[in-house]
Structure 1
Amino acid sequence: MDPTGRDRYIDFLRAWAIVCVVVGHWLITALVRAPGGEVTAPELLLAVPGTQWLTLAFQIMPLFFLAGGHAASGSWARAREAGAGAADWVGARALRLLLPAGAYSALALLALAVCAGLGVDPGTLATVGWALAMQFWFLPVYLLLSAATPVLHAAHRRWGVRVPAAMAVAALLVDVLVLAAGTPYIGPLNYILVWGVAYQAGFCWRDGLLTGRGRAPAALPAALTAGGALAFAALVALGPFPVSLILVTGQRVSNTDPPSAAMLAWTVAQIGLCLLLAPAVRRLLDRARVWRAVRPVGGASMTLYLWHMVPVLVVAAAFYLTGLAPQPALGSGGWWALRLPWLAVLGVVLATLVRVLRPWERGLTALYAWTTAGSGRGGRLWCGLALSTAALTRFAGHGFAPGGRVPVLPALGLALGVALVASAGRRRTARLRDDGSAVTEAA
Structure 2
Amino acid sequence: MPVMGRDRYVDFLRAWAILLVVLGHWLITGLVRDPDGEISAPELLATVPWTQWLTMGFQVMPLFFLAGGYAAGGSWTRARAAGGTAAGWVGQRAVRLLLPAGVYSGLVLVAVGVCSVVGVDPFTLALVGWAMAMQFWFLPVYLLLSALTPGMHALHRRWGARVPAGMGAVALLIGVLDVAMDVPYVGALNYVLVWGVVYQLGFCWRDGLLGGSRPVPVGLALGGGVGFAALVGLGPFPVSLILVTGQDPSNTNPPSAAMLAWGVAQVGLCLLVAPAARRVLEQERVWHAVRVTGAASMTLYLWHMLPVLVIAAAFYLTGLAPQPAFGSAAWWGWRVPWLLVLGVVLVGVVRVLWPLERRLAALDLGARPDASGLGPTWPLWAGLGLSVWALTYFAGHGFAHGGRFPVWPAVALGVGTVLVACRWGTAGRAAGKGRTGLRGEGALEEAAS
TM-score normalised to the size of structure 1? 0.94
Does residue 13 (structure 1) correspond to residue 8 (structure 2)? The answer is no
Q: Distance in 2 between matches of 1:381 and 1:417?
A: 8
Identity %: 67
Q: Following the alignment from structure 1 to structure 2, what is the Cα–Cα distance between the partners of residues 435 and 290?
A: 29
Report if the CA contact (8 A) 2:228-2:261 is conserved: yes
User: Separation in 1 of the partners of 2:201 and 2:134?
Assistant: 26
1:142 is the counterpart of 2:160: no
Q: Distance in 1 between matches of 2:405 and 2:290?
A: 37
Which deviations, in whole Å up to 9, do the C-alpha atoms of 1:361-415 show, x marking residues without a partner?
1221243x22566553311111111111111111111000001111111101100
Partner residue, 1:270: 266
CA contact (8 A) 1:371 1:423 kept: no
Unaligned runs of at least 5 residues, structure 2? 438-449
Question: Cα 1:372–1:329, aligned 2, differ >3 Å: closer, same or farther?
Answer: farther
The letter for the 2-side match of 1:370 is L
Corresponding position of 1:419: 418
Deviation at 1:426, TM superposition (A): 4.0
CA distance in 2, matches of 1:65, 1:50: 27
Supply the AA of the counterpart residue of 1:298: G
| Mapped contact 1:92–1:372 kept (Cα < 8 A) | no
For 1:4-403, list aligned pairs within 5 A. Answer: 5-212=5-212, 217-367=213-363, 369-370=364-365, 374=371, 375=373, 376-403=375-402
- Secondary structure of 1:357's partner? helix
Instruction: Assess if the C-alpha contact under 8 Å between 1:137 and 1:393 holds in 2.
Output: yes
Contact 1:28 / 1:45 at 8 angstroms: preserved in 2?
A: yes
What displacement does 1:432 show? 4.0
Residues 1:428 and 1:261: Cα distance change in structure 2 (over 3 Å)? closer
The match for 1:407 is 406
- Distance across 2 between alignment mates of 1:435 and 1:239: 46
**C-alpha separation in 2, matches of 1:230 and 1:311:** 39
Relative to structure 1, the CA distance from residue 172 to residue 401 in structure 2 (aligned partners, 3 Å threshold; closer, same or farther) is same
Residues 292-333 of structure 1 deviation map (CA, whole Å, 9 limit, x = unaligned): 111100111111000000100110111000000001111111
Measured in 2, the distance between the counterparts of 1:249 and 1:358 equals 35
Q: What's the C-alpha RMSD, in Å, of the aligned pairs? A: 1.6
Letter in 2 for 1:290: V
Code of the aligned partner of 2:435 = G
Aligned pair count reads 430
**Structure 2 CA distance for aligned equivalents of residues 50 and 435 of structure 1:** 49
CA contact (8 A) 1:82 1:437 kept: no
- Indicate how the Cα distance of structure 1 residues 414 and 66 shifts in structure 2: closer, same or farther if over 3 A, else same: same
Alignment check: 8 A CA contact 2:80 2:434 kept: no
Please tell me whether the aligned partners of residues 377 and 425 of structure 1 are also in contact (alpha carbons under 8 angstroms). Answer: no
**Deviations 1:20-65, CA, capped at 9 Å, x for gaps:** 0000000000100000000000000011000000000000110111
Aligned pair in 2 of structure 1 residues 84, 124: CA closer, same or farther (>3 Å)?
same
Name the CA shift for 1:138/1:426 in 2 (closer, same or farther; >3 Å): closer
Which residue identity does 1:343 align to in structure 2? L
* Equivalent pair of 2:367/2:429 in contact (CA under 8 Å): no
What is the Cα deviation at residue 437 of structure 1?
Answer: 5.8
1:173-210 Cα offsets, whole Å, 9 max, x none, are 01111122121310001000100000000000000000
Contact 1:79 1:437 in 2 (8 A): no
Give the unaligned 5+ runs of structure 1: 439-443
In 2: Cα distance, 1:65 partner to 1:193 partner: 12
Inter-CA distance 427–43: structure 2 relative to 1 (3 Å threshold): closer
The 4+ residue runs of structure 1 with deviation greater than 6 A are none
Secondary structure of 2:135 counterpart: helix
Give the CA deviation at 1:434: 8.9
Contact 2:11 2:294 in 1 (8 A): yes
Q: Find the residue that maps to 1:184 and give its secondary structure.
A: coil
* Deviation of the 1:218 alpha carbon: 3.0
